[in-house]
């Protein structure tokens, strides 16, 4: 899985926001705010990545157990799917 093209992650004033850029995100209008974990996952999803790899990367970056990492990732992926942000 991978996030769609046409978005930029920005860190401003200790906040992470994702904004559309270019013509690719023509149907999206607004911003997405992310916490630090969300921003990390968003960055990993710039390239095609499996759920298992994403889980391993999250566990390597943050001290979380397998179960928590998987639950967090699934929540995040659901959120992206709901907003039609995955390729």
Partner 1 sequence: MDYASVRNRLIRAAAKTKTPMVGAFELTPSCNLACKMCYVRESFPKKELSTAEWKTLILEAKNAGLLFCLFTGGEIFLRSDFQDIYEFTYDLGMRISLFTNGTLISDEVVNYLKKRKPDLVAITLYGINPHQYQEITGSAQAFSQVSSAIKRLKEAKITVVVRTIAVQTIYRHLDDVINYLKELHLPVSYSLYVGPKRSCLGSSNIERLNPEQLVIYQSQFKQAFGESLTIELSDCLESFRCLAGKSSYFIRWDGMMMPCAMLEYPSFMAKDDFARAWKKLNLAINNVPLCEGYEDCSVRSFCLQCPARRYLEGGFAQCSPYLKAIATLLKEGKQ
* CA–CA gap between residue 60 and residue 30 (Å, rounded): 32
Place of tokens 């995100």: 25
- Helix, coil or strand: residue 63: coil
State in angstroms the smallest separation of the CB of 69 from partner 1. 26
Please select the residue that binds partner 1; options are 1, 2, 5, 8, rule is CB under 8 A. Answer: 8
* CA–CA gap between residue 70 and residue 56 (Å, rounded): 9
State in angstroms the smallest separation of the CB of 56 from partner 1. 30
State in angstroms the smallest separation of the CB of 12 from partner 1. 5
Q: Which span sits near partner 1 by CB under 8 A: 11-19, 44-52, 66-74, 79-87?
A: 11-19
Please select the residue that binds partner 1; options are 1, 31, 51, 86, rule is CB under 8 A. Answer: 31
- Helix, coil or strand: residue 36: helix
């Amino acid at each position: 899985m991978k996030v769609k093209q046409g978005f930029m992650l920005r860190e401003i004033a200790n906040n992470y926001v994702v904004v559309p850029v270019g013509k690719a995100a023509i149907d999206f209008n607004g911003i997405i705010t992310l916490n630090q974990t969300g921003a990390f996952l968003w960055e990993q999803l710039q390239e095609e990545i499996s759920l298992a790899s994403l889980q391993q990367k999250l566990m390597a970056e943050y001290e979380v157990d397998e179960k928590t990492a998987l639950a967090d990732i699934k929540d995040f992926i659901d959120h992206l799917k709901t907003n039609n942000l995955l390729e």
